[in-house]
Amino acid sequence: MKKTSTRLSDGRELIYYDQDDSRERDAPDPRPADQVATASEVRRDPLLGDFVAIASHRQGRTHLPPADACPLCPARPGGHQGEVPDSDYDVVVFENRFPSLSGPTGRCEVVCFTSDHDTSFAGLDEDSARLVLEAWRDRTADLSRLDSVRQVYCFENRGVEIGVTLGHPHGQIYGYPEITPRTRLMLQSLAGHRATTGGNLFDDLVARERADGDRIVLETEHWTAFVPYAAHWPYEIHLYPRRRVPDLVALDEAARAEFPGVYLELLRRFDRIFGEGRPPTPYISGWHQAPFGEPRPGEPDVAREEFALHLELFTVRRTEGKLKFLAGSESGMSVFINDVPPEAAARRLREVASS
């Protein structure tokens, strides 16, 4: 992998990740150096103790433009000029023009998985998927060094049903200034389990799923994928490396080499859940990684090495033509009601395995 860092005309960082080590990247950004005024602010909810990002400038971000005006496509001679100055790319990462978090409140980046506007992550080959993984790892390592970043979340939203505003295959990376509410709950459960049993909650959870087997979707030498016992979403998969590590940076070569085939298979199964020829399944996919630094006052007393890196993949589609909306119980009280039994979801995800 070759990494080339450059700057866009407005000063934002852009990074090319190439499979070809000899590839030179020196195309300048021809656009005027106008900058979007960002006003990201983090406020704390005094009742719940969590934080909310206030980012009013995002109201003006690009929304579902036609393909010939896509800002994530590479530059075309005489055509629309978007965020990527070069005429093609393998994987590219750049600072979001409309960030939810910025400056002392964190950082937001966009990850373009391919220059091909008309494909998806599931349409990549294994070498291309491996390059995305390496880009995720590299960005996690770099963002961990920023004083404004406490935790890194690499994720993808796919489908207008999720709220995607750009159709080009891409994801995002958020560098949060604090431990997120979701991770804080995991750390509390992790610390409580250790105090009660002396064991590691993540290790025991995965071992229990493997022993039961009913919710296992896919197992390989280095990865285990299963539908969780108390799944929140109609079809939800958690993917764990067999060897517990706190983040993507710590993944060993064997797990990294096997990941592309495993992940592509899971994504392709998702697209077959509701039958061949159906519209692509909308989903959210994201990596849960350990926060950086030692626990601070008021945070669960858990070492980074106790946390287990894992990927969560789920869809809001509960059946063909019907979505899982977060209504009163879910949105108002955070109590999920799942219409699809996890065992049935796992069975369906095994049925649609590639032949």
- Whole-model pTM above 0.85? yes
Other beta carbons within 10 Å of 243: 13
Query: Are 140 and 242 found together in one domain?
Result: no
Structural domain total, the chain: 2
Instruction: Compute the Cα dihedral for 335, 340, 344, 349 and give only its sign.
Output: negative
Quick one: DSSP state of residue 279? Answer: P
Given the residues 170, 193, 288, 310, select the one marked as catalytic: 170
Residue 264 lies in domain: 181-287+298-351
Query: Are 347 and 321 found together in one domain?
Result: yes
Query: Are 188 and 329 found together in one domain?
Result: yes
d(CA 353, CA 192): 37
Q: Find out whether 299 and 183 touch, Cβ atoms under 8 Å.
A: no
Report angle CA 150, 93, 120 to the nearest 5 degrees.
110
Report angle CA 33, 36, 39 to the nearest 5 degrees.
145
Q: Find out whether 270 and 217 touch, Cβ atoms under 8 Å.
A: no
Query: Are 246 and 322 found together in one domain?
Result: yes
- Chosen domain end from 154, 176, 198: 176
The verdict on whether residue 70 carries a ligand-binding annotation is yes
Query: Does the active-site annotation cover 170?
Result: yes
Q: Find out whether 260 and 223 touch, Cβ atoms under 8 Å.
A: no
Q: Find out whether 339 and 324 touch, Cβ atoms under 8 Å.
A: yes
Q: Helices then strands (H, E): number in the chain?
A: 6, 15
Give the phi and the psi of residue 341 in degrees, each rounded to 5.
-55, 135
- From first to last of the 355 residues of the chain, give the pLDDT tens digit: 999 999 999 999 999 999 999 999 999 999 998 877 777 899 999 999 999 999 887 877 777 888 889 999 999 887 778 999 999 999 999 999 999 998 899 999 999 999 999 999 999 999 999 999 999 999 999 999 999 999 999 999 999 999 999 999 999 999 999 999 999 999 999 999 999 999 999 999 999 999 999 999 999 999 999 999 999 999 999 999 999 999 999 999 999 999 999 999 999 999 999 998 888 999 999 999 999 998 999 999 999 999 999 999 999 999 999 999 999 999 999 999 999 999 999 999 999 999 7
- Chosen domain end from 145, 176, 207: 176
The verdict on whether residue 154 carries a ligand-binding annotation is no
Nearest to 263, CA basis, from 223, 296, 234, 230: 223
- Chosen domain end from 176, 209, 225: 176
157: domain CATH number? 3.30.428.10
